[in-house]
């Protein structure tokens, strides 16, 4: 359907549309399941294009991460409607939505998405690799000697959100609370002898694999120990999105036989405090969640 000027009509995608829009991410081979779509459409705002049969031809989504940052994701166009401008049109709608709220837009671009984002003013922050890990083969990975790992408890949630904010550059208590209930057995926290929180890992089940992340920690040794513990807590296969600069973690993943079929670029339109520094970010929540 088109407006009188030929541009496509943009519809809101409501949480109740999750079942109908999900085929777009399945067609692209992505890992989101219905719980992901329902969460994202409930916590954020979806925009899409319907075809004459009232099926979704294209989707996009804005997920607020605090007042200063909003994540654009799920920019998907069904295969036979690509290169017609739908992706760009939806992206512009998302950018307008973010600007209206006074926030900066961030996203993780696939190699297909990046050519759309660059001309719209987005710039690169850092590269991320998507890793596929079947299972953990090697010996246990201990945390640093002053750190202990223990299973996450719901009573940790507030402390975890406070710890997460400056290290991730995102204010995301709603998202963390959602993830904490998705797959509790994969969730761990790291504490120093003083009792201070020095890291955590959460995860969620997906359509084709279990996603490990976010994993945030004071240092790489703790981040790696948390990820290794998460990967031995539930059955694989797993996916992880890891900033390329974490060389020890990359090496460990390679030793486990993990492979990295694709990469993303973290990009922003404007400047978002603390978002450009992945020093403490060992696995993302996912390109769709930030």
Ligand X SMILES: CC(C)(COP(=O)(O)OP(=O)(O)OC[C@H]1O[C@@H](n2cnc3c(N)ncnc32)[C@H](O)[C@@H]1OP(=O)(O)O)[C@@H](O)C(=O)NCCC(=O)NCCS
Summarize as ranges the residues that interact with ligand X (CB under 6 A).
28, 75-77, 82-88, 109-110, 112-113, 115-116
Nearer to ligand X, 9 or 247 (CB): 9
- Give me the least distance between CB of 80 and ligand X, in Å please: 10
Instruction: Give dist(CA 91, CA 61) in Å, integer.
Output: 9
Q: How far is the CB of 257 from ligand X (least distance, A)?
A: 26
Q: Mapping DSSP to helix (H, G, I), strand (E, B) and coil, where does residue 239 land?
A: strand
Q: What is the smallest separation between the CB atom of 156 and ligand X, expressed in angstroms?
A: 32
For Cα atoms 116, 20, 16, give the angle at the middle one, nearest 5 degrees: 105
Q: Which is nearer to ligand X, 75 or 215 (CB)?
A: 75
Residues ≥6 apart with Cβ < 8 Å to 180? 152, 154, 157, 187, 202
- Give the nearest distance from C-beta 93 to ligand X in angstroms: 12
* Angle 84-48-268 from CA coordinates, rounded to 5°: 80
Query: Does 42 sit behind a cis peptide bond, omega within 30 degrees of 0 on the bond before it?
Result: no
Least distance to ligand X from the beta carbon of 288, Å?
9
Nearer to ligand X, 48 or 143 (CB): 48
As measured in angstroms, the least distance from the Cβ of 173 to ligand X is: 25
Nearest distance from residue 96's CB to ligand X, in Å? 16
Q: What is the three-class DSSP state of 26?
A: helix
Residue 25 CB, nearest distance to ligand X (Å)?
Answer: 8
* 115: CB partners within 8 A, 6+ apart: none
Distance CA 253, CA 99 (A): 39
3-state DSSP helix/strand/coil percent for the chain, to nearest 5? 35, 30, 35
Residue number, 116 or 192, with CB nearest to ligand X: 116
The Cα-based distances of 55 to 30, 102, 143 in angstroms read 19, 32, 49
Kindly write down the DSSP assignment for every residue of 56-88, as one continuous string. Answer: EEEEEEEEE-SSSEEEEEEEEE-GGGTTSSHHH
The residue (of 48 and 213) whose beta carbon lies closer to ligand X is 48
Q: Which is nearer to ligand X, 82 or 250 (CB)?
A: 82
211's enclosing H/E stretch is strand 210-217
Q: Which is nearer to ligand X, 88 or 279 (CB)?
A: 88
Measured from the CB atom, is 148 or 208 closer to ligand X?
208
Q: What are phi and psi of 189, to 5 degrees?
A: -125, 155
């Amino acid at each position: 359907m088109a407006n009188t000027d030929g541009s496509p009509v943009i519809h809101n995608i409501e949480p109740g549309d999750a079942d109908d829009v999900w085929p777009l991410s399945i067609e692209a081979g992505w890992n989101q399941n219905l719980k992901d779509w329902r969460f994202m459409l409930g916590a954020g705002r979806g925009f899409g294009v319907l075809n004459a049969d009232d099926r979704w031809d294209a989707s996009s989504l804005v997920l607020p991460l605090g007042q200063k940052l909003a994540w654009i994701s799920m920019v998907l166009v069904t295969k036979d409607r690509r290169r017609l401008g739908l992706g760009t049109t939806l992206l512009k709608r998302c950018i307008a939505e973010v600007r209206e709220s006074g926030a900066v837009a961030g996203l993780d671009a696939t190699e297909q998405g990046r050519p759309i984002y660059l001309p719209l003013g987005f710039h690169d922050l850092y590269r991320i690799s998507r890793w596929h890990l079947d299972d953990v083969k090697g010996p246990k990975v201990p945390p640093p000697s002053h750190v202990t790992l223990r299973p996450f408890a719901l009573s940790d949630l507030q402390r975890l959100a406070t710890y997460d904010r400056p290290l991730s550059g995102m204010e995301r208590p709603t998202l963390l609370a959602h993830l904490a209930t998705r797959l509790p057995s994969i969730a761990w926290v790291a504490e120093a002898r003083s009792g201070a929180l020095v890291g955590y890992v959460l995860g969620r089940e997906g359509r084709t694999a279990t996603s490990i992340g976010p994993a945030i920690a004071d240092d790489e040794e703790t981040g790696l120990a948390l990820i290794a513990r998460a990967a031995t807590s539930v059955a694989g296969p797993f996916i992880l999105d890891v900033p390329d600069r974490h060389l020890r973690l990359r090496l460990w993943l390679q030793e486990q036989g993990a492979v990295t079929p694709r990469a993303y670029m973290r990009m922003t339109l404007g400047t978002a405090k603390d978002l450009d520094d992945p020093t403490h970010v060992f696995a993302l929540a996912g390109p769709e969640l930030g």
